[in-house]
Amino acid sequence: MKQQTSLVLFCLLNSITVVISGESFLVINRRHTRHRNLKLFVFGDSYADTGNWPKSYGGSWQEPYGITFPGSPSGRFSDGRVLTDYIAGVLGTKSPITYGGWKSGEKKSIKYGMNFAYGGTGVFDTFVNQPNMTTQIDYFQQFVKQKQDLLINSSSIAILSLAGNDYATYFTSNHTLQELPGLTRSIIDQLVSNVKRIHELGVQKIAITGMEPLGCLPQFTASTSYQNCSGTENSVAEFHNQVLAESIRNLNNQTGDKSLFVILDLYKAFSSALNLHQNLSAGKSTLKTLLEPCCQGVSKGYSCGNIEEGTKIMRYTVCDNPNGSFFWDMIHPSQQGWRAVSLHLRSSLLGLL
């Protein structure tokens, strides 16, 4: 079964090393001790989803996803860890259980919070039949009512991921760039409404991802043999981020606390990580270019994880060294890519503590 190919649009002083699931993370010692009871609540899309999609749908639950971590498919849209896992590590906690796992009776602790993110979703309905962010927050509200023993505390933090699926759905419906400003403002207005609602439910600190440089995703660089980012898609992301920054600034001014709502600048983090990677591995990359995905279909119409219908013949290829790749598939960073991005988000994340 073919994978959903349209899941588009996702100070080291006094530090100690904490090992979480075999991965090293740097956290501030003093702050880590103070916030060891931190609970993380995650909403959004595939950049944050750690396994909410039903296993029967395949995609992120089929090989070769998860080959780096945990060694088999885990529902993450990567070869290993994703943004949520690294955010949890930076904040000195563990990646929370998925809502889907908890609902199905999975025997895992909920003391670290819960992940409600579903790959392919947006603030509005998209091309996938999975809960949008409003519905995810509905689940959260129900969860809080059911679990009175897991009250939200002052250390609770919410993460909202929005990587571009609303835009993908919009443009596949034959809309034009001229209509973009109205779309962006409606997306941001709904996102701000979601932020307010989560805050009203008791979560004091909330981080919202800015849009990554969409034009640098392999889906848009393939036409240039992965040599150049697309200026058109990047301009969409830049405008989105501009409106988002203005709206979150206004929201913080309304509350009188400029640290309540924080933007995680994925645009800058992606760009910086890519440049850093280029500088460190110039001439040594195992991939033809940094923008080329590690896992991709063998021809047009196929993508990472696809097999020939009715057979077990693989219709995709995987690079020799995923750790040498920034992108895993046509949309999503690899574990190594997310690790690099998280390093550039570190100071913003620590500001939430």
pLDDT band (50, 70, 90) for residue 140: very high
Secondary structure class of 254 (helix, strand, coil): helix
Instruction: Check: CB of residue 46 under 8 Å from CB of residue 77.
Output: yes
**Is beta strand 15-20 parallel, antiparallel or unpaired with respect to 23-28?**
antiparallel
User: CB burial class (10 A; 0-12, 13-18, 19+) of residue 200?
Assistant: exposed
Span 38-211+231-280+335-350 CATH architecture: 3-Layer(aba) Sandwich (3.40)
Catalytic residue among 32, 35, 46, 277: 46
pLDDT score for 6: 37
How many angstroms separate the CA atoms of 318 and 296, rounded?
A: 7
pLDDT interval class at 36 (50, 70, 90): low
CA Rg, the chain, in Å? 19
pLDDT of residue 154: 81
- pLDDT at 35 (0 to 100): 54
Angle 157-211-88 from CA coordinates, rounded to 5°: 30
Give pLDDT, residue 1: 39
Q: Is 213 exposed, middle or buried (0-12, 13-18, 19+ CB in 10 A)?
A: buried
pLDDT of 258 reads 65
Rounded Cα–Cα distance for residues 39 and 202 (Å): 12
Give the global pTM. 0.87
For 26-35, 52-61, 151-160, 341-350, which range has the lowest pLDDT when averaged over its residues? 26-35
Task: Report which DSSP code applies to 129.
Answer: S
Mean pLDDT lowest among 54-63, 68-77, 341-350: 54-63
Q: Which neighbouring-strand residues pair with 19?
A: 24
- What does the alpha-carbon distance between residue 98 and residue 75 come to, in Å, rounded to a whole number? 10
- pLDDT score of 309: 82
Q: Which residue type is seen at 203?
A: V
- 89-116 pLDDT tens trace: 999 999 999 999 888 877 778 889 999 9
Work out the average pLDDT over 44-49: 98
Q: Which of 156, 329, 334, 344 is catalytic?
A: 329
Dihedral angle, C-alpha 147, 259, 193, 247, nearest 10 °: -170
- CA–CA dist 167, 282 (Å, integer): 34
Q: How confident is the model at residue 20 (pLDDT cuts 50, 70, 90)?
A: very low
Torsion of CA 78, 82, 83, 85, to 10 degrees: 180
In which band, very low, low, confident or very high, does the pLDDT at 173 lie, cut at 50, 70 and 90?
confident
Average pLDDT over residues 128-132: 96
Residue 90, strand partner residues:
none
Contact 82, 266 (CB under 8 A): no
In the block, which residue shows the tokens 């609540």? 41
Token couple for 239: 């405008």
Is pLDDT at 23 greater than 60 in this prediction? no
- Average of pLDDT values for 184-207? 95
**Catalytic residue check, 329:** yes
Question: How far is 191 from 288, CA to CA, in rounded Å?
Answer: 38
Question: By CB neighbour count within 10 A (0-12 exposed, 13-18 middle, 19+ buried), where does 290 fall?
Answer: buried
Encoded tokens for 276: 């850093």
pLDDT for position 108: 77
Please tell me the predicted confidence (pLDDT) of residue 312. Answer: 82
CB 46 within 8 A of CB 120: yes
User: What is the mean predicted confidence (pLDDT) over 135-141?
Assistant: 97
Q: Of 74, 332, 342, 344, which one is the catalytic site residue?
A: 332
Helix axes of 180-200 and 133-146: crossing angle, nearest 10 degrees:
0
Helix (H, G, I), strand (E, B) or coil at 76: strand
